[in-house]
A and B are shown apart, each in its own frame.
Chain A
Amino acid sequence: MTLRARLVVNRPAFTLDLDLHVAAGEVVALLGPNGAGKTTALRALAGLTRMSGGQISLRGRPLHTLPAESRPIGMVFQDYLLFPHLSALDNVAFGPRCQGVSKAESRRAAAALLERVGLAGRASARPAQLSGGQAQRVALARALAVRPELLLLDEPLAALDAHTRLEVRSRLRRHLADFDGATVLVTHDPLDAMVLADRLIVIEHGAIVQQGAPAEVARRPRTDYVARLVGLNLYRGTADGGRVKVGELLLHTCEQFDGPAFVAFPPAAVALYRSRPDGSPRNLWRATIDGIERHGDNVRVHLDGPVTAFADITPAAVADLDLTPGQRIWASVKATETHAYPA
């Protein structure tokens, strides 16, 4: 392990306490809602927020005893914080200069890094003259210029518009793959996290609630927050062989085991009927329509009943079924699309 940390930050009405282990070359994303403590964790790693307890070691050396300027880190801030009075080149050369490298040598290194992020032509531009995507790349180059052992990225894509974001995200992914130190990035966007990270750590209320490979987290969410992020209906119940009892409802699932369980199914797997369907699918319940909203090309129906659930159906189906809020309706999910896993 390159980075081992236990971060404890106590604030009035908020406590952050998490264990973090990141291997060399690994990219870990801290994912969580606003106020979960992601940025606080990152700032504690950088030495910008004082820790109330815990420790940080990087390659076996203690980091938490060092001030921010002595830590071998590079940080990319949410709105980049490029120094407005310096050119892109001098922004990137800033770190090496602080490390005592000569002016000429720092500028050479900075020029090489700008070249690497594809901005050799913008070296003399001031930050105000750069587009959002370019500024993000300069910020990355600036962080890499200090040859960090730990790279920290705070919402690296949040300030970008949707179109730029797509391009910058894939570029960033390549750069992170080239970086051989540990990387911790903070995001509230599940897509950014899935694309950029080797491992996700989901934080809520200052503590880790779930971690694992992105695909694993996406398939088997363990909190409502994660379920909402990855777009699944999630319930907690008790498994008994191939069935899980969720409140009053008994759901048949693909998996067979006993004990406390999560059950998840995608909203698109839910079918709605005005009258009780023939052939009676096994997971069937009476629901009340709580709300109807557009969701991409489809329509998302909020269902109340023995369980609350989302159902994604086509606009045509909404018209056929003549759905209105408050209406009673039948909902079903195929057992093959209903997945259970131990809680």
Chain B
Amino acid sequence: MSSSAPERLDLPGPRREVSGRLPWMLVLPAVAGLVFLVLPLAGLLIRAPWPTLLERLAEPQVLEALRLSLVSATVATVVCLLLGVPLAWLLARVEFPGRRLVRALVTVPLVLPPVVGGVALLLVLGRRGLVGQWLEASFGITLPFTTAGVIVAEAFVAMPFLVISVEGALRGADRRFEEAAATLGASRWTVFRRVTLPMVMPGVVAGAVLCWARALGEFGATITFAGNFPGTTRTMPLAVYLALETEPEAAIVLSLVLLAVSVVILASLRDRWVSAP
């Protein structure tokens, strides 16, 4: 019987460089694209009035706009979570006729110009709108030109981000865990609460952060639907736009704050969204 010598594996030799020169047709536009993306941000940092930065940040209008922005974006995100997570679940887990159409409808605000969204909101929820009329008559609630209106506008624009993110997480989640829970006697609500939701929590968090960032930066729908009143509807982006005409340095400071927030969000999500697979 021949002895069974251990199989010899041919280890790969040092990798030979065969790739040749980099094609300038690709490299040049790539560098130009990078500069185009980074330069404006750099400009913001370069032109910032650093010596008076803290002072300007402490101005009451700035703080007011910042507070309003943070509060309304956060409340809008909570609204999106309460409505968007169940919607994502419905799209990912329940077979119903017209599901593809519903999914397409959900993403419309994603591609719709926010100003158009604001107009649409006015038409429906405005004082003479289809639903707004009834809201005012029955409950005395008016949304346009109030902080609640800001929240509605932000939620309208930001919800698709949450729904898409959560639906993706739900589709990616192993449904056999839900089956295992069902064999243990869990109702569908219990399965969702105790198994599905904890397992897609990273997706929900990512979606909520994106949603919050989108709500924070929301401009078009807000100014159209909620107007621009200091203290009630003038959020940071609106304040930036306004300051640019009267006090450019203040606009830069406000912009820096928003930039800082964006960077923090990006950093917190880098593993999920930015890193290459």
Task: Spell out A's residues near B (CB within 8 Å).
Answer: 46-48, 67-71, 73-75, 77, 81, 83-85, 94-95, 98-99, 142-143, 145-146, 152, 315-316, 318-319
Interface on chain B toward A: helix, strand, loop, or mixed SS?
helix
Q: If the complex has contacts A81-B176, A318-B1, are A74 and B183 also in contact, measured as CB distance less than 8 A?
A: yes
A68 to B174 CA separation, bound complex (whole angstroms): 18
Task: Spell out B's residues near A (CB within 8 Å).
Answer: 1, 174, 176-177, 179-188, 190, 194-195, 198-199, 201
User: Which B residues are CB-close (under 8 A) to A142?
Assistant: 184
Q: If the complex has contacts A81-B180, A83-B195, are A146 and B1 also in contact, measured as CB distance less than 8 A?
A: no
Q: If the complex has contacts A142-B184, A146-B184, A146-B185, are A68 and B190 also in contact, measured as CB distance less than 8 A?
A: no
A84 to B194 CA separation, bound complex (whole angstroms): 11
A315 to B181 CA separation, bound complex (whole angstroms): 53
**Which one of B179, B185, B190, B198 has the highest number of Cβ atoms from chain A below 10 Å of its Cβ?**
B185
User: Which A residues are CB-close (under 8 A) to B181?
Assistant: 83, 94, 98
3 closest Cβ contacts across the A-B interface?
A315-B1, A95-B184, A98-B185
User: Which A residues are CB-close (under 8 A) to B186?
Assistant: 69, 94, 98
Q: If the complex has contacts A84-B199, A85-B199, A98-B187, are A69 and B1 also in contact, measured as CB distance less than 8 A?
A: no
User: Which B residues are CB-close (under 8 A) to A315?
Assistant: 1
A145 to B185 CA separation, bound complex (whole angstroms): 11
Contact (Cβ within 8 A) B198 A75: no
A147 to B186 CA separation, bound complex (whole angstroms): 14
User: What are 30 inter-chain pairs, A to B, with CB distance below 8 A?
Assistant: A46-B179, A46-B183, A47-B183, A48-B182, A68-B182, A68-B183, A69-B186, A69-B187, A74-B183, A74-B184, A75-B180, A77-B176, A77-B180, A81-B174, A81-B180, A83-B177, A83-B194, A83-B198, A83-B199, A84-B199, A85-B201, A95-B184, A98-B181, A99-B185, A142-B184, A146-B184, A146-B185, A152-B183, A316-B1, A319-B1
For residue A314, which residue of chain B has the nearest CB? B1
Q: If the complex has contacts A48-B179, A68-B182, A81-B177, are A94 and B194 also in contact, measured as CB distance less than 8 A?
A: yes
Contact (Cβ within 8 A) B183 A48: yes
A262 to B184 CA separation, bound complex (whole angstroms): 45
For residue A58, give the distance in angstroms from its CB to the closest CB of chain B.
14
A281 to B75 CA separation, bound complex (whole angstroms): 91
Of A67, A98, A318, which one neighbours B190 at CB under 8 angstroms? Answer: A98
User: Which B residues are CB-close (under 8 A) to A70?
Assistant: 185
